[in-house]
Amino acid sequence: MNILILGSGGREHAIAYKIAQSNKTSQLFIAPGNAGTLNCGTNVNINNEEFEAVKTFVLENSINMVVVGPEAPLVGGIVDFFKNDPMLCKIAIIGPSKQGAELEGSKDYAKAFMSKYNIPTARYNAFSKDNIAQGIEFLRTLKPPYVLKADGLAAGKGVLILESLEEAEKELKEMLENAKFGNASSKVLIEEYLNGTELSVFVLTDGQNYKILPEAKDYKRIGEGDSGLNTGGMGSVSPVAFADKNFMQKVEERIVIPTVNGLRNENIDYKGFIFIGLMNVDGNPYVIEYNVRMGDPETESVFPRIQSDVVELFEHTFAGTLNNIELKVAEQTAACVMMVAKGYPESYPKGDVIEGIENVTDSLVFHAGTAKNTQNDTITNGGRVICVTSLADTLEEALAKSYQSVEKIQWKNKYFRKDIGKDILTK
């Protein structure tokens, strides 16, 4: 089978790594990919938001399966584009339809969906420029901290958590009146604050059946002890001790089943991943957000634990027969540490030569923002540069292996958090 992965990050490298292991894979292409995905297949320089270019490539290279990594092409309707084209409609594309992708594309839509299907989430209201006064009134009924969210996609930056009412009122105006996040904040959600520990839960669904993939914990802030600016994610671990059988049963009964039933009830075509970002509040799960793709860097700890053939899983996803395949998961713990360019998530240099990757023997090295220069050196090409994942019998060992490997990889402006997983180490 010829397979095309859309995307260029650590998530896509981890997906490519698993797909390349499958006996079913003949040729694997990654568009646009990075210096690491070159070890799994062939990189192709097409913009995954230009659907006609994707189509041309798919037809010219007899692609049988397309796995969509990031949300933008999904929210842009790539799955509908395939479905409505007689030459593409039989190709197994993994991802939700445009309507399904609204679960991530519009926070207001996602909240209305949760409320319709009684899925536990924070209390909220949505406001636009025309009813700022009501928004301010609603803020005054809440206790601090205050949570403001831009409705649309804002590259992970559209959520503000503010300690004072004064600040919250000011930011609400900034978002609605001065378009702080552009079009994404033409509507703003004000939410009740959930106090607890976050967990990322991943579901693969064919629209009827589902498999719950290994859960993970992501470390979002740039600084140790979860301080400083939000990033795409600085590391992840899987499994997560507090997500025990009892807790995951609540997640399945209260969130996963009603979500899949809700999609079916709304006649939404959904053959892909659902990423449920949730908060464990005193042992009870509440949805913070849905994403319609895998998480990054969660994929880098989740996918290495999947023992089933992922291409087979995807075939069943597209065929609507996920109930006919077993999901096998390694019991081992995976710990991933993200190495970033100093300065990230603000401005940072690109083009530093990366050395020492070949000395890593005990870990998997997934590239995030890397490229090759004209001398064929691997260079930094993004904020998040390389993700090192290790598997071991305990979290402690997995972390120790990853941190040893991180020391072997060098470039001029390297930075990483030294405390990934420490908060959940069990004694």
What's the gap between Cα 330 and its chain centre? 21
CB of 220 to ligand AMP, least distance (A): 6
Q: Is 309 in the site for ligand GLY (CB under 6 A)?
A: no
Which residue in 62, 48, 53, 66 sits closest to 8, CA to CA? 48
One of 8, 48, 97, 291 touching ligand GLY (CB under 6 A): 291
**Beta strand 159-162 with 210-212: parallel, antiparallel or unpaired?**
unpaired
Q: Pattern 203-232, binding to ligand GLY, x per CB under 6 A?
A: ---------------x--------------
Taking CB within 5 to 8 Å according to partner kind, which of ligand AMP, ligand GLY, none is near residue 295? ligand GLY
Q: Which residues bind ligand AMP (CB under 6 A)?
A: 122, 147, 159, 161, 191, 193-194, 198, 220, 277, 288-289
Cβ nearer to ligand AMP, comparing 235 with 304: 235
Cβ nearer to ligand GLY, comparing 291 with 378: 291
| DSSP letter (8 states) at residue 253 | I
Cβ nearer to ligand GLY, comparing 82 with 286: 286
Taking CB within 5 to 8 Å according to partner kind, which of ligand GLY, ligand AMP, none is near residue 117? none
The three-point CA angle 242-247-253 to 5° equals: 155
One of 70, 295, 345, 382 touching ligand GLY (CB under 6 A): 295
Q: Which residues of 118-141 are buried (b: 16+ CB within 10 A; e: fewer)?
A: ebbbbebbbbeeeebeebbebbee
Q: Is 12 in the site for ligand GLY (CB under 6 A)?
A: no
CB of 115 to ligand AMP, least distance (A): 14
Contacts of 299 (CB under 8 A, 6+ apart): 10, 11, 14, 15
Task: List C-alpha distances in Å: 27 to 20, 41, 315, 393.
Answer: 9, 7, 16, 33
Cβ nearer to ligand GLY, comparing 88 with 338: 338
Q: Is 352 in the site for ligand GLY (CB under 6 A)?
A: no
Q: What's the CA gap between 17 and 311, in Å, rounded?
A: 11
- Given a contact cutoff of 8 angstroms between Cβ atoms, the answer to whether 269 and 208 are in contact is no
Taking CB within 5 to 8 Å according to partner kind, which of ligand GLY, ligand AMP, none is near residue 298? ligand GLY
One of 296, 300, 309, 315 touching ligand GLY (CB under 6 A): 296
Per-residue 3-state assignment (H helix, E strand, C coil) for 87-132: CCCCCEEEEECHHHHHHHHCHHHHHHHHHHCCCCECCEEEEEHHHH
Phi and psi (nearest 5°) for 302?
-80, -50
CB of 151 to ligand AMP, least distance (A): 11
Residues in contact with ligand GLY by the rule CB under 6 A = 218, 233, 291, 295-296, 298
